Structure 1
Amino acid sequence: MRIDIITVVPGLLEGPFSHSILKRAEDKGIAKVRVHNLRDYSSFKQKQVDDYAFGGGAGMVLMVDPIAKCIEFLKSEREYDEVIYMTPDGKTFNQQMANELSLKGNLIILCGHYKGVDERVRQKWISREISIGDFVLSGGELAAAVVADAIIRLIPGVLNDETSAMTDSFQDGLLAPPVYTRPSEYEGMKVPEVLLSGHQSKIDSWRFEASVRRTKERRPDLLEGKGLEGDFSK
């Protein structure tokens, strides 16, 4: 997979992709992330990429021309499955969307900034609009990093344990159960005995019930229509 991110603030994305799992994916040749400075595609001497909105009002708007030039340049070099625009009014990102996008080949992510992009960009070039929540950031860069991280970690070979990503919260519509490691007792707090028993079927049952219980307590909306009305209070 290759993810190309278009931004007016490329420095914001230097850290997330040079460490941890994302760096490992790059080193293994499994996934690449490339950041493109939108100002490099400006036709103006001062590298301007924004202008005032027609009709007035506060805030600047990213212009069509530099965005179109950048996207068309990238498309001339390879095929892309999606051109994604990060925007507060996009569809809310979730695990199911991450799973779907992780099966794609190449992606372009356009980061919104200021008051957003000229609507004609969205009409002609964007195939999917994504939001990471009902709030507004200074730009789409941090949101793009979140989406890229969630996608890339699902690609086979990125994580050391191939099954790890499949047991994360939301993969089965439930929150993940509590987890423990050594020591088995700390200041009187003990690890549930079933987790030390070695009986995998009992452990699996405990984890499922703990997942349902935690989901009921913290995200009951996730259980709607799942038919999990039993008593998981223990």
Structure 2
Amino acid sequence: MRFDVVTLFPELFAPFLTVGITRRAYESGQVDVRFSNPRDHAIGNYRRIDDRPFGGGPGMVMMAEPLEKALASIQAQRQDKAPVVLFSPIGQRLDHAAVQQWSASDGAILVCGRYEGIDQRFIDAHVDVQISLGDFVLSGGEVAAMALLDAVARLQPGVLTDQDSHHQDSFNPALDGLLDCPHYTRPDDWEGRKVPEVLTSGNHEHIERWRRDQRLALTAAHRPDLVEAARKAGRLGAKDEAFLTGKR
């Protein structure tokens, strides 16, 4: 899959693409990441890409023309009709289901805004999808683009050391959309805090039940909406319900 990133700061991505486990996806070409700087498509001695907003107000607005030219250059190179994605507060919040869809796609063109925003006419003419990371504002779309790329990269075959690892992630359908359980490692006694005895018992049936109960407890405490969604989807069994109601 190929992701083209339209950004004024492609240098921000260099360490991100070469460090950590997910670099395997980028180095292998499973997730092909390319960059286009709208400043390269701006005119004039100063290669201007922003201007004051009509109607007044603080900050600057990215101009439509350099962005459109950058987009046209990318589209001329690609052999597909890749969707154009803008990271924006009004977008749909990125979640695991969306990441799974992107991880199985042919990629996209990711537009990273800056300053007060992007000329709305470019958005109206070219943007297909808007994505938000949450109810907060970033200095630009680069961090959001990195988040999407990282989430997609780790789902590619061979990227994680253990292929079953991402199946244990929070929100994964393999866990019925619940949060993950707590994890422990050596030493078994750290500053007087001991690992739960069941995890050292060797009884795998009891261990799995304990982990399931912990997932249920954490999710009920912090994201009860996920418990309700699992219940409506018929993903909770009798033992799950008994644990949640304290009747077991």
Question: Counterparts in 2 of 1:26-175, with a 5 A limit?
Answer: 26-78=26-78, 79-171=80-172, 172-175=176-179
In structure 1, distance between residues paired with 2:96 and 2:243: 27
SS of equivalent residue, structure 1 residue 27:
helix
Which of 201, 225, 229 in structure 1 is aligned with 2:205?
Answer: 201
The answer on whether the counterparts of 2:37 and 2:70 sit within 8 Å (CA) in structure 1 is no
Instruction: Report the secondary structure of 1:158's partner residue.
Output: coil
**Percent of matched pairs sharing the same residue:** 41
- Amino acid aligned to 2:182: P
- The farther-off stretch of 78-87 and 206-215 is 78-87
- With over 3 angstroms needed to count, the CA separation of the structure-2 counterparts of 1:44 and 1:20, relative to structure 1, is same
Decide whether the 8 Å contact of 1:80 with 1:105 is kept in 2. no
Distance 2:135 2:186 in 1: 38
> Match of 2:12, SS?
helix
Unaligned runs of 5+ in 1: none
More helix by share: 2
Preserved CA contact (<8 Å) 1:83 1:127: yes
Deviation at 1:189, TM superposition (A): 2.2
Contact 2:213 2:243 in 1 (8 A): no
Compute the displacement of 1:74 (Å).
1.0
How do residues 215-226 of structure 1 correspond to structure 2 at under 5 angstroms? 215-226=219-230
Task: Indicate which of 176, 183, 186 corresponds to 2:187.
Answer: 183
Larger RCO (CA within 8 A; separation ≥ 6): 1
Which contiguous aligned blocks of 4+ residues in structure 1 show a shift greater than 6 angstroms?
none
Change (3 A) 1:105 1:57: same
Match of 2:218 among 214, 218, 221: 214
Distance in 2 (alpha carbons) for counterparts of 1:178 and 1:33: 34
Taking structure 1 as the reference length, the TM-score comes to 0.92
Residue pair 1:80, 1:106 contacting (<8 A) in 2 also:
no
Report the Cα offset of residue 23 of structure 1: 1.9
The Cα RMSD (Å) is: 1.9
- Indicate conservation of the 8 Å contact 1:30/1:157, yes or no: no
Gaps of 5+ in 2: none
| Rounded Cα–Cα distance in structure 2 between residues aligned with 1:230 and 1:48 | 64
